[in-house]
Chains A and B, each alone.
Chain A
């Protein structure tokens, strides 16, 4: 365990005390033993307290935390066999999206997941989790395959944004995203999208048109990265925290607004403190929703999915402007 985020400073101090006491092992005196228990209780209490009222910007930090479980971790912990398939059959293989069939509780599911990297080399390899058009085309290819074989699709979302590079533009980033949105609307199998970390702008949305949108408790889903939004609205990326607050991007806020279907609880102190518990929670939620969605006839499923998106939006009425 580690508490190294800025707002976790009080927790880090308690943890340091605990570690110092634990080091003594058998030589722990009776009063020290009591201190240790007390410190452990305090750590739990303070963690609960801090995590129950994270600000939007603190949630962004947790969602982006380097040790947070990534898609590959969830696949390893939830599935019996994941066979990764590569390539868009047109140009290349995008490493920021991993996809393929896997066994989830005895049933084949097509997973399409965004994957970040942890250390410098892996982050470079995964392009910081930002996909090029090939990634979305690979996603489309696998979803079409899912439809052909009648497998449900589960997408795990974890990306800051689609890659904003010139080559991405040349190879049709916008079209690749639009095609994925278009395909998913009419895909004749159940789709569940889960934001496990960062759901960033069009790049995250591209694989999350679904019958059911889940979010991990400390994940975020936003129209643009807070830094980019701050740049647009404040003309200064230093206002990222304000932008994060104003845009209502945390899982809790989006659930409260009724914009997502379910909040998947994370273990105490965030998913990175207990990978196994985080994966178990996600698996339970996925299995529950898959079972429900599979009960619906396909046409009803598609109609519900269509209406879900058709009805998103808030507006009012006024007189037409005079011309």
Chain B
């Protein structure tokens, strides 16, 4: 529908970067949920988990995405030790939220739905917060909000640009009011980044919806999205329920919001790293130059 705004990458490095540091978990075969093509696991991973036939972008874990984008070995994780607690003693379907959290932590390599830290990309420093949909649907509770804010503060402290990659179903119901307030908290933190005149690149991946879209994700100086990613405030089923309609094919996707002027570009996964490099050069050059001239004075 919409042409990709960024031309194919010239840095071939990006298309051959392994998602796993050499050791593949070894999926023998994977079925593309969109075109139903059977894909050979190794080829699929080499293709950055993108279906070669229909371009369907599978979801990436936070660490896969960091491997995809960062210079090898440059990632320094911060605040990995913050975990959610159960402030409301929330129970749904006779499962306490506290126990659900324990299970989620035990069943994944994650403590929460966001991984933060800093990396270099082509030796340019970058603070980042990468969301992971596997952890309770990437939902934003106190910890996700706090880690996003700390990533902003890290960027300010170290004078780095900021990248946030969103993947979220929205606010986390189990933390009630606390979750809702994270929308305000994260948006508020970005005013400080603005004062520090540091660029914020927001990357929307599948899915970016609800409270995350209605706060930091849509406040980027530059907003990018992966092809086909769901991008919306209200989810498709909510819209269909409220409007009593069937949504047309391709509604509330990355291409749809691009067409409606809500984001800057839809970028294929193989071009993400090179796109980031271009943007970082464009947005930080003037800053570093002015620093140099300032230092010379």
Chain A contacts to B: CB under 8 angstroms: 162-166, 168-175, 177-179, 181-182, 185-186, 201-202, 205-206, 209, 221-224, 228-229, 232-234, 242-243, 246-249, 254, 257, 259, 306, 309-310, 312-323
**Would B262 and A248 count as touching, CB distance under 8 A?**
no
**Would A222 and B214 count as touching, CB distance under 8 A?**
no
Does B5 touch A at the CB level, under 8 Å? no
Does B198 touch A at the CB level, under 8 Å? no
Q: Which of chain A's residues has its CB closest to B149's CB?
A: A310
**Would B214 and A314 count as touching, CB distance under 8 A?**
no
**Would B179 and A186 count as touching, CB distance under 8 A?**
no
Residues of A within 8 A of B83 (CB): 315-318
**Would A181 and B188 count as touching, CB distance under 8 A?**
yes
Residues of A within 8 A of B247 (CB): 166
Q: Which of chain A's residues has its CB closest to B232's CB?
A: A169
Q: Which of chain B's residues has its CB closest to A249's CB?
A: B176
Jot down 25 A-B pairs with beta carbons below 8 A, ordered by A: A164-B234, A165-B242, A165-B243, A166-B243, A168-B233, A169-B233, A169-B234, A173-B214, A177-B183, A178-B214, A181-B183, A202-B210, A221-B177, A223-B173, A249-B177, A257-B87, A309-B181, A312-B145, A312-B181, A312-B182, A315-B84, A315-B143, A316-B83, A316-B85, A317-B81
**Would B82 and A317 count as touching, CB distance under 8 A?**
yes
* 4 cross-chain pairs, A with B, having the tightest CB-CB distances, nearest first: A164-B234, A313-B142, A320-B80, A174-B213
**Would B188 and A310 count as touching, CB distance under 8 A?**
yes
Chain B contacts to A: CB under 8 angstroms: 63, 77, 80-85, 87-88, 90-93, 105, 108-111, 142-143, 145-146, 149, 171-185, 187-192, 210-211, 213-219, 232-234, 238-239, 242-243, 245, 247, 251-252, 256-257, 260-262
Q: Which of chain B's residues has its CB closest to A162's CB?
A: B233
Residues of B within 8 A of A229 (CB): 173
Q: Which of chain A's residues has its CB closest to B110's CB?
A: A321
Contact of A246 among B77, B90, B213 (CB under 8 A): B90
**Would B178 and A313 count as touching, CB distance under 8 A?**
yes
Q: Which of chain A's residues has its CB closest to B223's CB?
A: A175
Shortest Cβ gap from A313 to chain B (Å): 3
**Would B211 and A202 count as touching, CB distance under 8 A?**
yes
Residues of A within 8 A of B174 (CB): 233
Complex-state Cα separation, A162 to B256, whole angstroms? 20
Given contacts A166-B243, A320-B81, 4 further A-B contacts (CB under 8 A): A185-B188, A202-B180, A209-B187, A249-B177
Residues of A within 8 A of B84 (CB): 315-316
Shortest Cβ gap from B132 to chain A (Å): 12
Q: Which of chain B's residues has its CB closest to A316's CB?
A: B85
Residues of B within 8 A of A247 (CB): 88, 90, 173, 176-177
**Would B239 and A165 count as touching, CB distance under 8 A?**
yes
Most B-side CB within 10 Å, residue of A165, A170, A315? A315
Residues of A within 8 A of B257 (CB): 169
* Contact status of A259 and B177, CB under 8 A, knowing A224-B171, A233-B92, A318-B83: yes
**Would B173 and A186 count as touching, CB distance under 8 A?**
no
